Amino acid sequence: MKAALPFGLVGAVPVLPAPGRSPSAAPSAPDIQAKKPPQRGQLRQSRLSLDLLMADGERRTITPSGGRTTKTGRCSGPPSAEKRLDRHRIRADRHDRAPRRPNFIADGVATSGLDETVAVHLDGAKTGTLLRRLVDLISAPPKLGRATVSRGSLAKLDQLPSKLAKNPLQFTAPQLPRCRWSSPIAW
């Protein structure tokens, strides 16, 4: 297989013919999409192209246009092998820029109910960037809709303490717990 596919195996996900769907890109799509900013080398805007390697060895290169990032979704195996791919692999040519981790100056607000949460969002949309919010939709009123909202803006160099200011975009995020992929999800 390797000889037939002259682009190497590093980063590629082999997909064998299957009667049903082959969630070939399930393990790879998040990496290709750069959906995991906390991880080293996986910040957005870092993908320059994707190579889709066809069963016959043809290589199709997909590149972003208009300043957009390259993305892909899950690819399926063939319900009809005559019409669709019966074997393919996806490889992302990664030219990663140095990972960066910006800092924010943020305000946190814990709201007491849905109306206050809506008001904070409307206010936040005017005054700054909403960074994160979680809403309680389980508790009965009046707690229903209470939320924790974080809002703010990118920190400027002179707003950072000296320790952070030396290297304000240093990426030091730890590798966090990993969920093991065990079986395809039959959506």
- Residues of this chain that interact with other proteins (CB under 8 A) are 21, 23, 26, 30, 35-39, 73-76, 79, 83-85, 101-110, 114-115, 117-118, 121-122, 124-125, 130-141, 144-148, 150, 152, 155, 159-161, 164, 173, 176-182, 185-187
Q: CA-CA distance, 79 to 75, in Å (whole number)?
A: 12
CB-wise, 95 or 178, nearer to other proteins? 178
Shortest Cβ 121–other proteins spacing (Å):
5
CB-wise, 8 or 182, nearer to other proteins? 182
CB-wise, 2 or 59, nearer to other proteins? 59
Which candidate, 60, 53, 49, places its Cα nearest to that of 2?
A: 53
Q: CA-CA distance, 1 to 23, in Å (whole number)?
A: 19
Shortest Cβ 138–other proteins spacing (Å):
5
Angle at 68 between CA 54 and CA 73, to 5 degrees: 40
CB-wise, 21 or 94, nearer to other proteins? 21
CB-wise, 2 or 143, nearer to other proteins? 143
Shortest Cβ 1–other proteins spacing (Å):
21
CB 50 within 8 A of CB 90: yes
Long-range contacts of 151-155 (CB under 8 A, 24+ apart): 151/106, 151/107, 151/109, 151/120, 151/124, 151/127, 152/104, 152/105, 152/106, 152/107, 152/128, 153/104, 153/105, 153/128, 153/129, 154/102, 154/103, 154/104, 154/105, 154/129, 155/102, 155/103, 155/104, 155/105
Shortest Cβ 94–other proteins spacing (Å):
16
Shortest Cβ 144–other proteins spacing (Å):
5
